A and B are shown apart, each in its own frame.
Chain A
């Protein structure tokens, strides 16, 4: 099993550009989530999904969109990148009802100029 995979590992964007961060898992997990990690701020939940076709907002959803068309994939879209979105983004997954045992991906380091 590859676990949780994220692409790309690094990305540099200009202000106003859009892009999609990819996340996939091969563990048949129902629950998937996106976090951002900033120095001094810890991990903050952006969006999450409890199953295919179901998504909801987390703590810091503004400027981000998600969709969940399959169990395996949970892409995060930045609609119009801003410097405040410079961060490290982590995708995580778990079985339904077990968000306490989430598996995290390796992260995507995003810089917005």
Chain B
């Protein structure tokens, strides 16, 4: 089983819909969870960051972590065409300079 699993998509949804993006993981030692957004032919940019379990909200974006199920989610409300990108989940174990493990990314298309 891979450490981090993420459905590659593509996922196409109409503008204004709520988008749900998910990752599962196998290593219970992961404590830090991130979501990166990557536009076509650009570098990834950090979108959301959470520590341990719980929810975190930032504008239209909500990140959820369920450590008991080893499952993380990113919700996008009122989706816009500008949200069309690849979303990568990422996670790491301890603090300091521990390596980050990335999911393969989900391609999202928001249809106008």
Give A contacts to B, CB under 8 Å.
Answer: 4, 31, 40-45, 48, 50, 58-59, 90, 92, 96-97, 99-107
Number of A-B contacts (CB under 8 A): 56
Q: Give a binary string over B77-112; 1 marks a CB under 8 Å from any A CB, 0 the rest.
A: 000000000001010100111111011110000000
Docked pose: A36 CA to B96 CA in angstroms? 22
Enumerate chain B residues within 8 angstroms of A100, measured Cβ to Cβ.
32, 34, 49, 90, 92, 100
Q: How large is the interface on B (under 10, 10 to 19, 20 to 34, 35 or more residues)?
A: 20 to 34
With A42-B88, A43-B102 given, is the CB distance from A97 to B41 under 8 Å?
no
Enumerate chain A residues within 8 angstroms of B6, measured Cβ to Cβ.
42
Docked pose: A71 CA to B65 CA in angstroms? 35
In the bound complex, do residue B100 and residue A102 qualify as a contact, i.e. CB atoms below 8 Å apart?
yes
Enumerate chain B residues within 8 angstroms of A58, measured Cβ to Cβ.
99
Closest to B6 in A: A42
Closest to B4 in A: A42
With A90-B44, A100-B49 given, is the CB distance from A42 to B92 under 8 Å?
no
